[in-house]
Chains A and B, each alone.
Chain A
Amino acid sequence: MLFKDIRDYQISFLGLFLVVGISTRDWTLRPDLIGVLIATSLVTQWILSWVTGKEQMPNLRSALITSLGLSLLLRADDWTTMVIAATSAIASKFLFQFHNKHFFNPANFGIISALILTSDAWVSPGQWGEEWWYALLFVGTGGMVVQRIGRWDTTAAFLGSYSLLEAIRNLWLGWTWDVFWHRLMSGSLLLFALFMITDPRSIPNSRIGRVIWAVCIAGLTFILRNYFFVPTAVFWALFIVAPLSVLIDFLWLAPRFSWQRGNEGDGGAEGAGGELLLSTPNS
C-alpha cells in the first residue's frame, strides 16, 4: 500500500531534504517549529474536511506535504507565525476553489500569508548554496516524482524560460557567464521548480496551459527579482499567477489530475502511471 501513492515519494523526499538540510547546512531550522507546522496542518485539514464533509477520508498526505514544504522554506521567530502559515495554507485549499479545484499552491499560500500577516517570517533564498550535488539530489528525486505525475513540461517551461531571460540580461549587462550560472545554480530555485510548481492539483490541467502558466511565473519572477529587488520573487510570482490557472483551465479543457489514477490527466503522453520509472527527464 505504501508508495502506491506518488505522494508517499514526495513525503519521503521532502523529509530527506529536511534531514540533509539540518545535518549538513546549519540553518535556523528549529524542530519545535517543524512540529508546530506539521501538527497545525494535520489538525486544520482534519477539521476542515469534517466541517465541509466533502471527503470521507481526510487528505492527510497532502497536508503533510504542505507542512514539510513549509518547514523547508519558511523561517520564523515565533511559533504563532507557523500556526498562521500552516492554517492559511490548508484553509486556502478549501476557500479558494473553482469547480472543486483549488488554485493556490497551499505551501506557497502559507508562505505569502506569513510574510504579509506577521512581522517575523522570512525566507532564506541563499540557504542551499550552489553545490552541484544538491542540484543532483533535487533533480534526481524531483525528477522521479515529476516523471510519475507527468509534469515535466511545467518544470522545463519554467526553468527554460527563466534561464533564457537571465541569459539575455547577463549578455546585455556584460557580466561573465559565471555570474549567470551562479544565479541559476541556486538550490532554492530548483526546489521550487521541481516540487512547488509541479503540484498537479493546483496547476492547469492541459499541457499547453501549464506551459503558458509556467512561462508567466518565470517572467514575473525575473521582473520582481531584477527590477524590484524582491529576494522572495519566485513565491510572489507563483502567488500572483496562481489564480490564472482557473482561466487557463477554462480556455484549454483537459481532464483533471487525480493522485490515485496517476498521470491520466496529462492527455496520455506519458507512460503508465502505476510503475516507478527512473528514466531520464523528458516528456
Chain B
Amino acid sequence: MKIFRFLTPLLLTIVAVFCFAPAAWAFCGFYVAKADTKLYNKASQVVIARNGDRTVLTMANDFQGEVKDFAIVVPVPTVLQKDQVRVALPNIIERLDAFSAPRLVEYFDPDPCTPLPLFSRGIPQTALNLNIGAAQVQRSDRDLGVTVEASFNVDEYDIVILSAKESGGLETWLTQNGYKIPQGAKQLLQPYIRSSMKFFVAKVNLDKFEQSGYQLLRPLQISYQSPKFMLPIRLGMINAKTEQDLIVYILSPQGEAQLTNYRTVKIPSNVNLPVFIKNEFGEFYKSLFQTAYTKEGKRVGFLEYAWDMGSCDPCAADPLTQEELKEAGVFWLNDNSLSKQTKVTPIRKFAPPAFNSNVFISRLHVRYTRDTFPEDLMFLSTANRELFQGRYILQYPFEGDLKCEAGKEYKRSLPKRFEQEAQTLARLTNGNIQDIRKKMKLSVGNLTYSWLENVQSWFGLD
C-alpha cells in the first residue's frame, strides 16, 4: 500500500509534465515588440462593451486637422440624454490597443550539449513570473422634418441628438447649422432614418477645448440599450476612395465576438520567423495583414486577439486594471447578477470551472472599402472562450562551442530550420524568397556552412 501511496503522486507528476509541458512550450516566450495601430495611417478605433442589450460605445478621434472643423454624425439606435454621453480618458484606447496588439516573442535555444531537465526546458522563468503576475490581476426644424431630441454639452463637445423624417431635411438642417456635409450624404442618411435610427451629432466647443488644455480630441463614449449589436460604417465611406482600417475592441462577459454578416478569420499566427524580423516587425505585420487580406478576397474581418482580460501570455502590455476597464465602458464588473449571464444548467455541474475575469476581449481588424463591405457591421457575442493571439516567434540558435555529438546534430539541423523560417516569411508576406535568404545570411552568417564543413561533419572531423 505504501508503494501505491508513493507512486500515485509520482505518476500524476509524470502525467502532468508530459501533458502540460508541451503546452507551456507552445506558449509564453519573451515579449519583444508589438504591431499596434500606429502602423496604419488612418485607423479608426472603436471600443464596444456589451452585456445583454446594453452597449457602451467609445469612439477614438483620429481627426487630423483644425479642431474647429471637427464634427461627427453617428447613427445611433436610441435617443441619448446627457447622462448617456461622456468623454473618456484619451489613453484608454491606447491601453487596449497595446494590450491586444499582435506581438513578437523570442526564444533562445539552450546549449544542446547540456540538456536541461525535461520539465524546465523551454519555459522561460520570466514567462512563468508573468503568468503569476497576470493571475493576480483581474423650428424651421419642423418644416425640415428634423426634431432635436436632445441638445447638451459634455466637456469640450457640443452634442445634439436628431431624429429626422427624410434625408433631404436632415441634410439641410446640418448645413444650416454649420456642419459641412459631404456630397452624397443624402442617399446614405435615408436608410438610417427609415430604420428609425437617431443621429448623434458632435462638434467641438472651442472655448471649452482651450480651457481644457488638451492637445488632442478625447474619445466620446455613449451608452444605450438596444438589441442592435452593430456598427454603422457606411457613412464613413462617403468620401473615402481608399481602403480604411478599423479596429474594433469588443468587451463581453461571455467570450469571443464575431461578425454575423461577414466572415471572421483568424490572422495567421504562431509561426517561426527569421530573426532579422526583430528590427522590422511593424513592416512585417503590415505586409502579413495585406497578404492575408488579399488572399481572403478582401471581404472578411480578421480576429487579431481573443483573450480573457484577466491575463496575457506573453504580455504586450499589462492587463487593464478594474478602473481602466470601467473607463473602457465595462459596466458589469460589480454586477452580482452576472451569474445570470454565465448561467449554468443543472446538467452542466461537472463542467470545469474556468478562471475568468468576466471580461473577454476580441480585437477585430476590418479593412474595408465601399465595394467590399456594402453593409454595416453586425456582431454576435459567442460563448467561445478559446484564447487566440497574433503571435510571431523568433528562435535564436545557440551560439557557442558545440563539441558533443548532440551539438553536431543540432548544428546540422539548423539550415533546414532557417530555410523553413524563410519560406514561412515569404508565404505570409508574399515576399521574395531570395531576398529573404540573402538577408538571413547577413544576420546568421556564421551558422551557414560551406560544403567542406558539411563533409567534415559527416565524417566526424570537426
Minimum Cβ distance to chain A for residue B292 (Å): 11
Q: Pick the residue among B187, B380, B383 that contacts A120 (CB under 8 A).
A: B383
Question: Are A125 and B260 in contact, CB atoms less than 8 angstroms apart?
Answer: yes
Question: Are A119 and B345 in contact, CB atoms less than 8 angstroms apart?
Answer: yes
A172 to B343, CA, bound (A): 41
Interface flag for B442 (CB, 8 Å):
no
CB within 8 Å for A77 and B385 given contacts A84-B347, A119-B342, A229-B227:
yes
Interface flag for A168 (CB, 8 Å):
no
Residue of A nearest to B343 (CB): A119
CB within 8 Å for A231 and B260 given contacts A119-B342, A173-B191, A182-B374:
yes
Contacts of B341 in A (CB 8 A): 119
Minimum Cβ distance to chain B for residue A40 (Å): 13
Question: Are B347 and A182 in contact, CB atoms less than 8 angstroms apart?
Answer: no
Question: Are B297 and A131 in contact, CB atoms less than 8 angstroms apart?
Answer: yes
Interface flag for B258 (CB, 8 Å):
yes
Interface flag for B378 (CB, 8 Å):
yes
Interface flag for B261 (CB, 8 Å):
yes
Contacts of B224 in A (CB 8 A): none
Interface flag for A127 (CB, 8 Å):
yes
Interface flag for B255 (CB, 8 Å):
yes
Interface flag for A179 (CB, 8 Å):
yes
Q: Pick the residue among B229, B266, B348 that contacts A78 (CB under 8 A).
A: B348
Interface flag for A129 (CB, 8 Å):
yes
Minimum Cβ distance to chain B for residue A180 (Å): 9
A77 to B260, CA, bound (A): 18
Q: Mark A237-262, 1 if CB is under 8 A from B, else 0.
A: 00000000000000000000000000
Contacts of B260 in A (CB 8 A): 124-126, 231
Which residues from 169 to 200 on chain A have a C-beta closer than 8 Å to any C-beta of chain B?
172-176, 178-179, 182-183, 186
Interface flag for B19 (CB, 8 Å):
no
Q: Mark B373-402, 1 if CB is under 8 A from A, else 0.
A: 011001010111110000000000000000
Question: Are B378 and A231 in contact, CB atoms less than 8 angstroms apart?
Answer: yes
Question: Are B380 and A183 in contact, CB atoms less than 8 angstroms apart?
Answer: no
Interface flag for B208 (CB, 8 Å):
no
Interface flag for B429 (CB, 8 Å):
no
A129 to B372, CA, bound (A): 12
Contacts of A270 in B (CB 8 A): none
Most chain A C-beta atoms within 10 Å of own C-beta, residue among B194, B344, B351: B351
Residue of B nearest to A118 (CB): B345
Interface range on chain B: under 10, 10 to 19, 20 to 34, or 35 or more? 35 or more
Question: Are B348 and A229 in contact, CB atoms less than 8 angstroms apart?
Answer: no
Contacts of B229 in A (CB 8 A): 229
CB within 8 Å for A77 and B383 given contacts A126-B258, A173-B194, A229-B228:
yes
Which residues from 56 to 88 on chain A have a C-beta closer than 8 Å to any C-beta of chain B?
75-78, 80-81, 84
A183 to B371, CA, bound (A): 14
A121 to B229, CA, bound (A): 18
Interface range on chain A: under 10, 10 to 19, 20 to 34, or 35 or more? 35 or more
Question: Are A75 and B375 in contact, CB atoms less than 8 angstroms apart?
Answer: no
Contacts of B195 in A (CB 8 A): 173
Interface flag for B51 (CB, 8 Å):
no
Interface class of chain B by DSSP: loop
Which residues from 125 to 169 on chain A have a C-beta closer than 8 Å to any C-beta of chain B?
125-131
Question: Are A80 and B384 in contact, CB atoms less than 8 angstroms apart?
Answer: no
Q: Mark B331-374, 1 if CB is under 8 A from A, else 0.
A: 00000000001111101101100000000000000000001001
Q: Pick the residue among B350, B375, B383 that contacts A119 (CB under 8 A).
A: B383
Interface flag for B98 (CB, 8 Å):
no
Contacts of A182 in B (CB 8 A): 261, 374-375
CB within 8 Å for A80 and B348 given contacts A125-B260, A128-B263:
yes
Question: Are A80 and B351 in contact, CB atoms less than 8 angstroms apart?
Answer: yes
Contacts of B382 in A (CB 8 A): 75, 122, 124
Minimum Cβ distance to chain A for residue B400 (Å): 40
Q: Pick the residue among A80, A120, A127, A228 that contacts B347 (CB under 8 A).
A: A80
A118 to B351, CA, bound (A): 12
Q: Pick the residue among B262, B345, B375, B384 that contacts A77 (CB under 8 A).
A: B384
Interface flag for A28 (CB, 8 Å):
yes
Question: Are B384 and A174 in contact, CB atoms less than 8 angstroms apart?
Answer: no
Question: Are B374 and A179 in contact, CB atoms less than 8 angstroms apart?
Answer: yes
A129 to B296, CA, bound (A): 10
A179 to B237, CA, bound (A): 14
Interface flag for A117 (CB, 8 Å):
yes
27 A-B pairs with CB atoms under 8 Å apart are: A26-B266, A28-B384, A75-B384, A81-B348, A84-B347, A117-B345, A117-B347, A118-B345, A119-B342, A119-B383, A126-B258, A126-B259, A126-B260, A126-B262, A126-B264, A126-B380, A127-B264, A129-B262, A173-B195, A174-B167, A174-B187, A174-B190, A175-B191, A178-B371, A179-B375, A183-B375, A229-B229
Which residues of A are in contact with B by a Cβ distance under 8 Å? 25-26, 28, 75-78, 80-81, 84, 117-122, 124-131, 172-176, 178-179, 182-183, 186, 228-229, 231
Q: Knowing that A129-B300, A174-B167, A175-B191 are A-B contacts, what are 20 other residue pairs whose CB atoms are under 8 Å apart, sorted by A's residue number?
A: A75-B384, A77-B255, A77-B384, A119-B344, A122-B380, A122-B383, A124-B258, A124-B260, A125-B261, A126-B258, A126-B259, A126-B261, A126-B380, A127-B264, A130-B299, A174-B194, A175-B374, A178-B371, A178-B374, A183-B261
10 nearest interchain CB pairs?
A120-B383, A122-B382, A173-B191, A129-B263, A174-B190, A178-B374, A229-B227, A231-B260, A179-B374, A173-B194
